[in-house]
Structure 1
């Protein structure tokens, strides 16, 4: 996870646990402009959230988004505990 540009923290929804798959999809897809802005410039871009559903959906979106701008990436996931709360993470690695 070295040199990862974490894009979370600028939206109040970053720490939200969504109720439905529809909300997860809408939120994850809304992150596209944030990711694409960094995917072409920075080696690794990541997102962290307490909602595992968001990470799972982003795992399917990241390769598509990279493909749109002709990049080859790997997708990594992990989790950590902060103050008793599990935080799920996803990040890209350019290949």
Structure 2
């Protein structure tokens, strides 16, 4: 997880657990510009959230988003516990 720019913390809904897949999709798509800005600089980028659904969505879409700008990335995930709450993390690794 070294050399990763974490974009979480800059949005008020970063700590939200969404009720529906539609909300997850809308939220994750809204993060696209943040991720692509770093990917286009060939910087590894990551996101952390208590909502596993968001991580699953991003895990599927990260490679596609990188492919749009002719990059190949691997996707890594992890879980950590913070103050009794599970936080899910996802980040890219340049291939």
Same fold (TM over 0.5): yes
TM-score after normalising by structure 1: 0.97
Q: What stretches of structure 2 of length at least 5 have no aligned partner?
A: none
Q: How does 1:44-83 map to 2 (within 5 A)?
A: 44-83=44-83
SS in 2 for 1:18: coil
Distance 2:10 2:74 in 1: 25
- Distance in 2 (CA, whole Å) between partners of 1:89 and 1:42 is 19
Q: TM-score, normalised by structure 2?
A: 0.97
Q: Distance in 1 between matches of 2:80 and 2:62?
A: 21
CA-atom RMSD in angstroms:
0.7
Matched ranges for 1:1-95 at <5 A: 1-95=1-95
**Separation in 2 of the partners of 1:21 and 1:43?**
29
